[in-house]
């Protein structure tokens, strides 16, 4: 005799989930501030609010935060890629930002790549994201790395979605 069981669990992504994910990114940014003096608290709050709005609308593909020099990301940068529709049973604690990296002559900035859901947003919804963030983004091309490559190191998850974090490694 055989038996068959079906298990179906559905978890809705909420604003609370978006806030949880964005707060982990903000904690990483605070670590950058501690080690490198940037970004300022004002910018951390703005980046966090922007990310909450993008996550709750499922409208972000990836965001990079870090130090850029002569148009290239230095080793002192982290990239977050949106993860959805995957088994996200790992939810790491934020941190492990590397200290003592060369940021001489570099400035802290961010670059965002949206997904197809962003294109479907109304002009009003896009303005709400911008207003929540308190700054406007300009169009551009994804900056390359000075050297090295991205290495996935942490996963932040909530409500069936997540952010996969990568750091730059030169070895």
35 CB-contact burial (10 Å; exposed 0-12 / middle 13-18 / buried 19+): middle
What percentage of the chain reaches a pLDDT higher than 90?
81
What CA–CA distance (Å, rounded) separates 19 from 140?
27
Tokens of 126: 């896009």
pTM over 0.95: no
SS3 content of the chain, % helix, strand, coil (to 5): 30, 30, 40
| Sheet containing strand 107-114, strands side by side | 107-114, 60-69, 72-84, 161-169, 149-158
Domain carrying residue 129:
15-169
Residue 7 lies in a domain: no
Whether the link from the prior residue into 104 is cis, omega within 30° of 0, is: no
Tokens of 73: 């990301």
Residue 1 lies in a domain: no
Residue 86 lies in a domain: yes
Residue 29 lies in a domain: yes
Residue 158 lies in a domain: yes
The answer, yes or no, to whether residue 134 has pLDDT greater than 50, is yes
CA-based Rg of the chain, rounded to a whole angstrom? Answer: 17
The predicted structure's pLDDT at residue 151: 97
Average pLDDT over residues 22-39: 98
The model's confidence at residue 12, banded by pLDDT at 50, 70 and 90, is confident
Question: In total, how many domains does the chain have?
Answer: 1
């Amino acid at each position: 005799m055989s038996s068959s069981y079906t298990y179906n669990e559905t978890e809705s992504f909420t604003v609370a989930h978006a806030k949880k994910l964005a707060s982990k990114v903000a904690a990483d940014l605070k670590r950058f501030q501690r080690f490198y003096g940037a970004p300022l608290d004002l910018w951390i709050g703005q980046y966090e609010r922007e990310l909450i709005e993008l996550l709750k609308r499922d409208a972000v593909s990836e965001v990079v935060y870090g130090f850029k020099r002569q148009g290239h990301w230095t080793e002192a940068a982290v990239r977050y890629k949106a993860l959805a529709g995957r088994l996200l049973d790992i939810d790491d604690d934020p941190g492990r930002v590397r200290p003592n990296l060369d940021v001489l002559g570099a400035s802290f900035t961010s670059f965002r790549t949206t997904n197809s859901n962003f294109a479907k947003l109304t002009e009003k919804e896009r303005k709400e994201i911008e207003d929540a963030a308190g700054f406007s983004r300009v169009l551009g091309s994804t900056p390359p790395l000075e050297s090295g490559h991205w290495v996935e190191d942490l996963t932040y998850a909530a409500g069936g979605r997540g952010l996969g974090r990568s750091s730059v490694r030169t070895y």
